[in-house]
Amino acid sequence: MDKLIIEGGVPLTGSIDISGSKNAALPILFAAILSGEPVRLCNIPNLRDIHTTLSLLNLLGCPCEYDEGRVTVTPGELLPEAPYDMVRTMRASVLCLGPLLARIGQARVALPGGCAIGARPVDQHLKGLELMGARFELEQGYILGRCRKLHGARITFDMPTVGGTENLLMAAALAEGDTVLENAAREPEVTDLANFLIACGARIEGQGTSRIYVSGINSLRGVEYSVMPDRIEAGTFLAAAGLTGGELLLRGCPVNELESVILKLRDMGMDIDVLPDGVLAKCARPLRCVDVKTEPYPGFPTDMQAQIMALMCLAEGAGVVEERIFENRFMHVLELVRMGADIRISGHTALVRGVRRLTGAPVMASDLRASASLVLAGLAAGGTTEIRRIYHLDRGYEKIEAKLARVGARIRREKE
């Protein structure tokens, strides 16, 4: 396993190119199963989760390979099984459920277990697919799904679920008749998936709102499509500029999709300007703590909670961070405290009091965004920070140490 070694205290200055979005690329790769023709995707980030997905697509009968950010998926004779040892490493594998049922009327997908940040059930996915005519049973930890032909339905989610909306969107694209998704997730990655499906010929309206209409059609054509940039990677680097007191130009940074994050960072005192060639973030004065509540889009994203908490550790005053989406997404807190942060957890809220400095320490990554917050803290801390188990980080950040080193960070990867 690898680890990252960071010598903190260097203000980051320069420009960083934002990669394609992991959370848009994953559902779009699974959606390629729906097309009967080759699909060419670009701006696909070089990440562990992407390669896990490509391995699964190959297993399902859709030969594909990765070449410099480009992937061609050639749907063949589809097979129904997503094995446990693949699903357990990546929960998003459950997104093959809708496409398989839509294309071949059967699926055998390992039930994704919980993960570090919560139980993360898939009941909303199954409920919606059952309303469309699928029948499920659970056998030895696998979801067995069958249907003659999916039909349209009116589906109201108990809560806005990104994966649930994506699974049902893909299933509805090829179902018989019309589907309405109520209380749908509005995340930009869901919209990107809908735009990809529309490019393949799907009839979808309302994407980006909480009510999405789909009129099912018989087949989808092949297409060439470029995936949106990663708003969470961009938000993470905005926080890096704030924490190190530097100045970073983020090329290809999605602005509208990051509005809630940019507003919060400006509230903290950062200067963030939208320029023709990117977003310029700088931190010319001491930051101040703010209160943050994570919400479904367009609210403040849960995937930026750990990163803004790291930023608040060195800001003036105190702020309350409330995690409203997942039940256990404070795994980064105790590691930040080991670096000198003053954070008190009470249930789903954390009280952060800014301190004058953080000190480097050996710390342990636990999940993707917690790892990112430890990298941010290490960049600002005095001394050396050693971050173990960074395979979590490699799931969602493309070449992060190279990108950071290019703007002045003293960071290197070593074999543990």
Cα 385 from Cα 223, distance rounded (Å): 45
| Interaction between residue 162 and ligand EPZ (CB under 6 A) | yes
Pattern 265-304, ligand EPZ, x by CB under 6 A: -------------------------------------xx-
- Least Cβ distance, residue 197 to ligand EPZ (angstroms): 16
- Show Cβ contacts of residue 378 under 8 Å, excluding neighbours closer than 6 positions: 4, 6, 8, 339, 360, 363, 385, 387, 411
CB-nearer residue toward ligand EPZ: 19 or 283: 19
Three-state DSSP string of 299-317: CECHHHHHHHHHHHCCCEC
Sheet holding 247-251, edge to edge: 13-17, 247-251, 278-282, 271-275
* Residue 115 falls in the annotated catalytic set: yes
| Interaction between residue 138 and ligand EPZ (CB under 6 A) | no
| Interaction between residue 121 and ligand EPZ (CB under 6 A) | yes
Pick the stretch among 58-66, 116-124, 205-213, 247-255 that binds ligand EPZ (CB under 6 A): 116-124
CB atoms within 10 A of CB 351: 15
Among 16, 57, 363, 368, binds ligand EPZ (CB under 6 A): 368
How buried is 137 (Cβ within 10 angstroms: 0-12 exposed, 13-18 middle, 19+ buried)? exposed
Closest by CA to 252, choosing from 24, 11, 15, 14, is: 15
| Interaction between residue 161 and ligand EPZ (CB under 6 A) | yes
CB-nearer residue toward ligand EPZ: 80 or 128: 128
Cα 349 from Cα 346, distance rounded (Å): 5
Task: Give the Å distances, CA to CA, from 307 to 329, 336, 377.
Answer: 12, 11, 9
Among 35, 93, 124, 191, binds ligand EPZ (CB under 6 A): 124
- Least Cβ distance, residue 328 to ligand EPZ (angstroms): 10
Among 12, 62, 102, 325, binds ligand EPZ (CB under 6 A): 325
Q: Which residues pair with 144 in a beta bridge?
A: 108, 137
- Least Cβ distance, residue 112 to ligand EPZ (angstroms): 9
Which residues here bind ligand EPZ, judged by CB under 6 A?
23, 26, 92, 118, 120-125, 159, 161-164, 185, 187, 189, 302-303, 325-326, 368-369, 396
